[in-house]
Chain A
Amino acid sequence: DTAVSQTPKYLVTQMGNDKSIKCEQNLGHDTMYWYKQDSKKFLKIMFSYNNKELIINETVPNRFSPKSPDKAHLNLHINSLELGDSAVYFCASSQDAWRENNEQYFGPGTRLTVT
């Protein structure tokens, strides 16, 4: 069974379009995250939700809007896509955000290419 899954795996779209990425975890974790990894492999946190409540909101353009319908799902909607949005987007989850270790489990990633 896949612990953290994301769809789609690949997304190719044109500038100006709106797209969504979905994430689901079956680990029973309370906290979920979105990360962006650029072409230089720099991995940067974007958002985090704990039990459907937004707890981390980094400096991200407001074209990016996360939504958590329940604690097992975290989606990312991106409006008016730009070339610079091309990256791999990873979803992750952890048991809870305040655990000492806070081991995070990552999904397989969604490679977004904006042309």
Chain B
Amino acid sequence: GQSLEQPSEVTAVEGAIVQINCTYQTSGFYGLSWYQQHDGGAPTFLSYNGLDGLEETGRFSSFLSRSDSYGYLLLQELQMKDSASYFCAWKPNQGGKLIFGQGTELSVKP
């Protein structure tokens, strides 16, 4: 079968670093995206990894290892506003389809 696995919840304190993992079992793999969604809001794009390695965008970084079928999102210098759900999304082919994981709810405490 095909699946994306992420932890359901993560808690961290302001200023800390947190890593949200995403492991996948898929047939056909073109890339891994990450989206953020605040309660009551719309998903917003954070990053995309098409190749192995690290992509950095400000406080957020994303990593992909195709050989390990594994990726992660790294959030540094956590702020209260980072409390949200984070979704990894698998791109199975060259078309526009994205398959989303179940999401990780991140709670940032003071």
Contact = CB atoms under 8 A, between A and B. Distances in A.
Interface residues of B, number: 22
Contacts, number: 64
Interface string B26-67: 000001010001000111110010100000000000000000
Nearest to B49: A101
Contacts of A98: 94-96
A48 B43 contact: no
Given A41-B103, A56-B97, A90 B42 contact: yes
A103 B42 contact: no
Interface in A89-104: 90, 92, 94, 96-98, 100-104
B87 interface: yes
B96 A106 contact: no
A43 B87 contact: yes
A103 B45 CA distance: 6
B102 A41 contact: yes
B95 A56 contact: yes
A40 B96 contact: no
B99 interface: yes
Contacts of B42: 90, 106-109
B70 interface: no
Contact of A41 (B33, B44, B85, B99): B85
A104 B42 CA distance: 11
A90 B35 CA distance: 14
B16 interface: no
Contacts of B45: 103-105
B31 A100 contact: yes
Contacts of B31: 100-101
By Cβ-Cβ distance, the 4 closest A-B pairs, closest first, are A97-B96, A106-B42, A43-B100, A103-B45
24 contacts: A33-B96, A41-B37, A41-B85, A42-B103, A43-B43, A43-B87, A44-B100, A45-B98, A55-B95, A56-B95, A56-B97, A98-B94, A100-B31, A100-B50, A101-B48, A102-B91, A102-B98, A104-B96, A104-B98, A106-B42, A106-B43, A107-B42, A108-B41, A109-B42
